[in-house]
Amino acid sequence: MSRNFETQAVRIQTERSQFSEHSTPLYLTSSFVFDDAEDMRASFAEEKQRNLYSRFSNPNTTEFVDKIVAMEGAEAGYAFATGMGAVFSTFAALLSAGDHIVSSRSVFGSTHSLFTKYLPKWNIETSYFKVNELDKVESLIQPNTKILYAESPTNPAVDILDLEALSQIAKKHNLLLVIDNCFATPYLQNPIKFGADLVIHSATKLIDGQGRVLGGVTVGKAELVKEIYLFSRNTGPAMSPFNAWVLSKSLETLAVRVDKHCENALKVAQFLEAHPAVNFVKYPFLPSHPQYEVAKKQMRLGGNIVAFEIKGGIEAGRKFLNKIKLCSLSANLGDSRTIVTHPASTTHSKLSEEDRLEVGITDGLVRSSIGLEFVDDVIQDLKQALEV
């Protein structure tokens, strides 16, 4: 098999059935049958690699996982019902009571809740560093620290963390480096190349790309994935075969879709940067981005998320949303449809202003997930919404 990304995305496929189907069929089955008592015994003893029950594995989820493993240059993986299923199961499988996490402060909202509200119930604490303070990371490491965790680019402020620098710290202190690679997709960035041990995706976003199904996946070193698999096979966060079938199809077009998303996003970012009602724009492949050089080093293109700050604070942000006509106001991202959100008045409104500013959410910050519409139409919509 060719190791080229697009070829793997299209050609990695579950073995054909007796019907010689070209496109992989949907295997909606909860369990699988055995030939005889010996087959059943050997299968449960794991002397054979085969499907037993769809909480453990299923041909559709295996095809999806095999593709992500190949795309990320990983050894093994397991697919989950949601991205948060992947995040939680990864921590729950690998950590014990009393362990400690060091994490970037700029993490997905539910991941933040996991660190601050739920993991402490099992005496697992998290220390945070700011995205622009990698030099402080080492001072947070304790004898019981097990995992170094980060997202890049971050949600919603689109900051970039230097994966190679994080991996050097992780190696020096014998920590596992776990990276949420959701915003980049396996097409734009492969954290394992820069030293990550595990990579997590919410497949709900650009991997699905059309806002249809939820999904998550963790890939990386085989011995770690084995622990995550055993935990998950017993606790039940498995991906549905239907969602795996949808998502594996989506991966066939990931490269062409993401190329177009990035082309459109760069044009939108350039338009916004020149607009007088905009204070600043954060897009990884704009030279004005504070971590532009790092983004260029570790990403193929800049992604589809453009963050920008409208002059005039919270009120200006709300007014902008109300004037939007074509784009959608929605909590999702990575959809074929362009989506705009105003974190300060919605997703992050419960945070104190100090906490919001710490993760880069200024009052007028808008997060836009640029879709696949004709880009001038998106720009026209943003332009008329920015008029005062």
Ligand X SMILES: *Cc1c(COP(=O)(O)O)cnc(C)c1O
Nearer to ligand X, 109 or 312 (CB): 109
**Token duo for residue 374:** 């004709």
What letter does residue 239 receive in the DSSP assignment?
Answer: P
Residue indicated by tokens 């496929």: 13
Q: Which residue of this chain has its Cβ atom nearest to ligand X in the complex?
A: 83
- Region for 296 from its dihedrals, namely left if φ exceeds 0, alpha if ψ lies in -120 to 50, beta otherwise: alpha
Among 92, 182, 225, 339, interactor with ligand X by CB under 6 A: 182
Q: What is the DSSP letter of 238?
A: B
Tell me the CA distances in angstroms from 180 to 87, 91, 136, 202, 207, one per residue in order: 8, 12, 20, 8, 14
Q: In this structure, what are the phi and psi dihedrals at residue 8, rounded to the nearest 5 degrees?
A: -65, -40
Q: Which of 152, 155, 250, 298 binds ligand X (CB under 6 A)?
A: 155
Name which of 141 and 182 has its Cβ closer to ligand X: 182
Q: Is 382 in the site for ligand X (CB under 6 A)?
A: no
For ligand X, give the closer residue by CB, 88 or 308.
Answer: 88
Alpha-carbon 338 to chain mean position:
18
Give the residue from 194, 206, 108, 101 showing the smallest Cα distance to 157: 108
Is 180 one of the binding residues for ligand X (CB under 6 A)?
A: yes
Residue closer to ligand X, measured from CB, 247 or 278:
247
Least distance (Å) between residue 203 CB and ligand X: 7
Q: Which is nearer to ligand X, 59 or 303 (CB)?
A: 303
What are residue 268's phi and psi, to 5 degrees?
Answer: -65, -45
Q: In angstroms, give the least distance from the CB of 343 to ligand X.
A: 12
Query: CB 334 → ligand X: shortest distance, Å?
Result: 8
Find the part of the chain contacting ligand X (CB under 6 A) among 2-10, 42-50, 118-126, 199-207: 199-207
Choices 18-26, 63-71, 198-206, 320-328 (CB under 6 A): range interacting with ligand X: 198-206
Cβ atoms 303, 153 nearer than 8 A: yes
Q: Please report how close the Cβ of residue 333 comes to ligand X at its closest, in angstroms.
A: 6
Q: What are residue 148's DSSP bridge partners?
A: 102, 177
Backbone angles phi, psi at 31, to 5 degrees: -135, 180
Q: Does 204 bind ligand X (CB under 6 A)?
A: yes
Among 72, 151, 335, 381, binds ligand X (CB under 6 A): 151
339 touches ligand X by CB under 6 A: no
Looking at beta carbons only, is 184 or 379 nearer to ligand X?
184
Q: Which stretch binds ligand X (CB under 6 A): 201-209, 224-232, 262-270, 319-327?
A: 201-209
Which 97-136 positions form the footprint of ligand X (CB under 6 A)?
Answer: 108
Instruction: List Cβ<8 Å contacts ≥24 apart for 210-213.
Output: 210/250, 210/335, 210/336, 211/330, 211/332, 211/335, 211/336, 211/337, 212/246, 213/242, 213/243, 213/246, 213/247
Q: Which of residues 8-27 bind ligand X (CB under 6 A)?
A: none
Shortest Cβ distance from residue 75 to ligand X (Å)? 22
In this chain, which of 60, 103, 167, 202 binds ligand X, going by CB under 6 A? 202
Residue pair 310/280 in contact (Cβ under 8 Å)? The answer is no
Contacts of ligand X in 209-238 (CB under 6 A) = 214, 216
Q: Which positions from 44 through 103 interact with ligand X, judged by CB under 6 A? A: 82-84
Q: Rounded to the nearest 5 degrees, what angle is found at the Cα of 149, between the Cα atoms of 112 and 140?
A: 90
| Binding region for ligand X (CB under 6 A) | 82-84, 108, 151, 155, 180, 182, 202, 204-205, 214, 216
